[in-house]
Amino acid sequence: MSHDGAAALLEVRVTSKDHVTAGGRPQRVLQDLQFTLPMGRAGAVVGPSGCGKTTLLRLIAGLDAQYEGAIRLPAGGRLGMVFQEPRLLPWRSVVDNLRIAAPQAREETIAALLMRLGLAEHAGHFPGELSLGLARRVALARALAIEPDLLLMDEPFVSLDAMLARELRGEIAALIDERRVTTLIVTHDIREAIELADRVFLLSTRPARVFTTLEIATPRRALTKAAADALQSEAEAAIEAMRAHGGMRA
Ligand SMILES: Nc1ncnc2c1ncn2[C@@H]1O[C@H](COP(=O)(O)OP(=O)(O)OP(=O)(O)O)[C@@H](O)[C@H]1O
């Protein structure tokens, strides 16, 4: 594998990735999985439960180097990551969590980020005092504080109630537009992906590959319900066709 950062886009080409099962046998999780995402754009990876989405994100983040293929990060190569679990330092306040992650960030930048994400009044709170929704916001603020060249998010709305999830989705969409940060979001929810991304990569069942890419041409803010419905139908038809072929190339 190779993992370097000098491209004008995120380029992912995973020829193969195996995990070892509890019984000690190799299990192919990803095979011939390829996609690209231009700088400043948002991509969403959508796939069935257990198909390998988190595995893919870990390869892109450089947390797992055991794969065949090549991954090139957008120029700069600085990564911000929001995990499913917020993973904040429990013995540090919200503002300290940001300061520690981004020691070079100016105090005003950190204060502005906390304000922007509705966290100003929680700056002195400790992670244990926060709801999951707030902790996710802190994790997002922390990832943005480092001014990443690539922002990776793994199921940022999972386990939030519908209203909170909608609210956070709107915030993230606005932040992506404002900051033009190249963003890759993993989700199992097609509608969520269509509403957030410029490009949606649909993954097959295991071993996962990208079997369809949806281009969301309309600017995010101008996406009408009718246009989102049409894209969702297109995605669902592609998934049906993929399943009908037993996960093989349709
Ligand atoms: N470290 C590991 N060792 C062995 N098997 C693993 C490891 N990590 C993941 N797996 C297996 O690889 C497959 C893909 O897991 P992964 O978590 O990447 O899928 P996912 O699409 O993110 O799932 P979900 O939608 O449930 O979050 C699963 O069968 C999982 O059990």
CA distance 142 to 46: 24
- Residue 249 is assigned to a structural domain of this protein: no
Residues 95 and 209 grouped into a single domain: no
Per-residue pLDDT tens digits for 153-194: 999 888 778 888 888 888 888 888 888 899 999 998 999 999
Q: pLDDT band for position 221 (50/70/90)?
A: confident
- Residue 226 is assigned to a structural domain of this protein: yes
Residues 154 and 52 grouped into a single domain: yes
Percentage, residues of the chain above pLDDT 70: 95
Burial of 193-218, coded b for 16+ CB within 10 Å and e otherwise, reads: bbbbbbbbbbbbbbbbbbbbebebee
Residues 155 and 239 grouped into a single domain: yes
Q: pLDDT band for position 249 (50/70/90)?
A: very low
- Residue 250 is assigned to a structural domain of this protein: no
Residues 105 and 72 grouped into a single domain: no
Position in ligand 1 atom list of the atom nearest CA 22: 4
How far apart are the CA of 54 and the centre of ligand 1, in A?
Answer: 7
Residues 155 and 137 grouped into a single domain: no
| Nearest CA among 141, 75, 74 for reference residue 102 | 141
Report DSSP state, residue 23. Answer: T
- Residue 114 is assigned to a structural domain of this protein: yes
How far apart are the CA of 46 and the centre of ligand 1, in A?
Answer: 14
Sign of the torsion angle spanned by Cα atoms 94, 196, 47, 31: negative
How far apart are the CA of 248 and the centre of ligand 1, in A?
Answer: 20
Residues 94 and 60 grouped into a single domain: no
For a ligand 1 pocket test, name from 14, 18, 19, 21 the mutation site with the most ligand atoms within 8 angstroms of its C-beta: 19
How far apart are the CA of 50 and the centre of ligand 1, in A?
Answer: 5
Write the CATH number for 55.
3.40.50.300
Q: What is the pTM (predicted TM-score) of this model?
A: 0.91
Residues 115 and 196 grouped into a single domain: no
For the chain, the domain total comes to: 2
| Nearest CA among 24, 44, 178 for reference residue 112 | 178
Closest residue by CA, ligand 1 atom 18:
52
Residues 21 and 129 grouped into a single domain: no
CA distance 66 to 139: 27
Looking at residue 250, what is its pLDDT? 40
Kindly state the helix (H) or strand (E) to which residue 166 belongs, with its residue range.
helix 162-179
Q: pLDDT band for position 85 (50/70/90)?
A: confident
Mean pLDDT of all residues in 183-206: 93
- Residue 168 is assigned to a structural domain of this protein: yes
How far apart are the CA of 52 and the centre of ligand 1, in A?
Answer: 5
Residues 55 and 170 grouped into a single domain: yes
Q: Find the domain containing 100 and state its range.
A: 88-147
Residues 115 and 233 grouped into a single domain: no
- Residue 83 is assigned to a structural domain of this protein: no
Residues 143 and 154 grouped into a single domain: no
Looking at residue 123, what is its pLDDT? 96
Report DSSP state, residue 7. Answer: E
Residues 186 and 208 grouped into a single domain: yes
Closest residue by CA, ligand 1 atom 5:
19
Q: Which residues line ligand 1 (CB under 6 A)?
A: 19-20, 29, 47, 49-55, 188
DSSP three-state, residue 25 = coil
